[in-house]
Chains A and B, each alone.
Chain A
Amino acid sequence: MTERENMQLVWDHKRPGWVPMMTKASQMLITPEINDRPLFADGNDWFGVPWELDPDNPQFMTHVKPGFSMFDDITEWKDYITFPKMSSLNWEMIGGRTKAMWADKENTMGYVVCNMGAFEKINAIMGFENGLCALYDTEDYIDFVNAYADYRIEEMYYVKKYMDADFMMMHDDWGNQNNLFLSPDLWREIFKEPERRMAEACRNLGMHYMHHSCGYIEPIVGDLVEIGVESWHSVSPVNDLAKIKAEYGDKLVFAGGVDPQVTDRLDASEEDIRKEVRRCIDVLGKDGGLLCGSAVMFSTVQGVDALIEDEGTKYGKY
């Protein structure tokens, strides 16, 4: 059985031969043309948000220029924001590059990451505090989130047609260390229906749908399952994971799971990292259901991801 076939068993809620490690069983298919945020250099994103490179960041990640806010009243968003057209990209070229990048297609699953969801995007555009306060102009906020979902659904069509990806990973961090950023009821009012539409469109195109959210999102995990989100990536242990696994383990694939607050630190020992991988597999991997890896996808501290993969490979046998 190949890594790909083994991973498919997890998506199908069947018992795999071993715990698939994300870094080994899947290949991220990059699409830098989709300018969610400039990477590795200063520049504006497609929406006009200025991003700056932090040379001290080990992943060379960019951040929004401190203090930037395009507008502070979300009722005016249509005056400022024009959604880019996915059709304007050279998808033939992107498809060709994908083929070259994904040489081991027989053995791995390919996935495309939508780097920013609507919540993260509006916070980048307006500034975090303005963005959070804008949640109370709920109707206009919903308008934006729906328009954003349409934009991402258009992307999915091209990703399937030209890249033939197996799954999409939609990022939108709704949780922080202690709680959701907004009440579960407000999340349901604003985000649930657009998220359902994205998950449905993705599945209808023949791709699996994974949502990445860091932090505590336990109160809405049941909603995600209900609307057809097949997998939750990140899966921080600030949530009651044993309870969530028991309740939704037959319907939801857990992806990531290894806590970077334990592993991705300069003072973490090799045993600290290996122990955390074992914890993740013990809690989330019983009888399958886990695509194991760092909850933040890639660690900043050198060598950590290799250790996670090594321990997961050794320990994650059924």
Chain B
Amino acid sequence: MELLDQISENLQKGKAKAVKELVRQAIDEGIPADTILNEGLISGMDVIGAKFKANEIFVPEVLIAARAMNMGAALLKPILAEDGAKTTGKVCIGTVKGDLHDIGKNLVRMMLESKGLEVIDLGVDVTAERFVETAQKEGCQIICCSALLTTTMGVMADVVKAAKDAGIRDQVKIMIGGAPVTQAYCQQIGADAYTPDAATAAEVAVALLKG
């Protein structure tokens, strides 16, 4: 559908105002909200995610595309809520205790949202206990932990342990990422997945939710 393609294309260029107007037009034309979301906004972000993963575009391009997506999605949110649409999964995300870096974590959040997942952003400097308490209270299927410092990445092991201690380890997947983090470290601490970039994180999250 031409209008949905236009939404996707304008989103990829980060043209937030145009995306907002086109989404409004699509709603007025009676296109179902979930169709606009999936075939306009999310399909646009999928292209952005793939290009970012391939190093064809850079962080600012992802940011302006995500901002455009948010402006369009804000118009759809009340309609989707009225329709009783369910998200495909719930994730809590944060940068671990002692670490205040948030750009990577924010990129992952944007990419997760662009896949239609509900994301609870706990911000930075998040304790292991808070990750686990939030997952329990909100029913999150995935916990995503970010660390940019070699001195803070150890908190990720605390998150795995806290999930075990709380008895929810078999109900929640734990994903980790950040500059010093590796696949070997993921295996060492018993987390479920390490991803090297935001786009892959979103793909892996969706795959984990599908089981």
Residues in chain A within 8 A of chain B (CB atoms): 54, 56-58, 63, 66, 128-129, 132-133, 135-136, 176-183, 186, 260-261, 264-267, 300-301
A266 touches B63 (CB 8 A): no
Find chain A residues with CB under 8 A from B197 CB: 178
A129 touches B103 (CB 8 A): yes
Q: How many residue pairs, one in A and one in B, have C-beta atoms under 8 Å apart?
A: 64
Cβ 8 A contact of A261, one of B100, B102, B150: B150
A177 touches B179 (CB 8 A): yes
Find chain A residues with CB under 8 A from B60 CB: 132-133, 135-136, 181-182
Residues in chain B within 8 A of chain A (CB atoms): 14, 55, 57-60, 63-64, 67, 98, 100, 102-104, 106, 123-124, 149-151, 153-154, 179-180, 196-197
Q: List 27 A-B contacts (CB under 8 A).
A: A54-B100, A58-B151, A66-B100, A66-B123, A66-B124, A128-B103, A129-B103, A129-B106, A132-B60, A132-B63, A133-B67, A136-B60, A176-B104, A176-B179, A177-B179, A178-B55, A178-B196, A179-B58, A179-B59, A181-B58, A182-B58, A182-B59, A261-B150, A261-B180, A264-B150, A300-B150, A300-B151
B55 touches A265 (CB 8 A): no
Task: Say whether chain B's binding surface is mostly helix, strand, loop, or mixed.
Answer: loop
B151 touches A181 (CB 8 A): no
A180 touches B151 (CB 8 A): no
A124 to B77, CA, bound (A): 32
Cβ 8 A contact of B98, one of A56, A132, A136, A176: A56
A183 to B14, CA, bound (A): 16
Find chain B residues with CB under 8 A from A56 CB: 98
A180 touches B150 (CB 8 A): no
Find chain B residues with CB under 8 A from A129 CB: 63, 103, 106
Find chain A residues with CB under 8 A from B57 CB: 183
18 new A-B pairs (CB below 8 Å) besides A129-B106, A180-B58, A181-B59? A57-B98, A58-B151, A66-B100, A132-B63, A133-B60, A176-B59, A177-B179, A179-B55, A179-B58, A179-B59, A182-B58, A183-B57, A186-B58, A261-B150, A261-B179, A265-B150, A265-B151, A265-B153
A247 to B124, CA, bound (A): 41
Find chain B residues with CB under 8 A from A63 CB: 100
A260 touches B106 (CB 8 A): no
Expressed in whole angstroms, the minimum distance between the Cβ of B197 and any Cβ of chain A is 6
A182 to B57, CA, bound (A): 8
Find chain B residues with CB under 8 A from A183 CB: 57-58
Chain A residue with minimal CB distance to B148? Answer: A177
Which of A63, A132, A181 gathers most chain B CB within 10 Å? Answer: A132
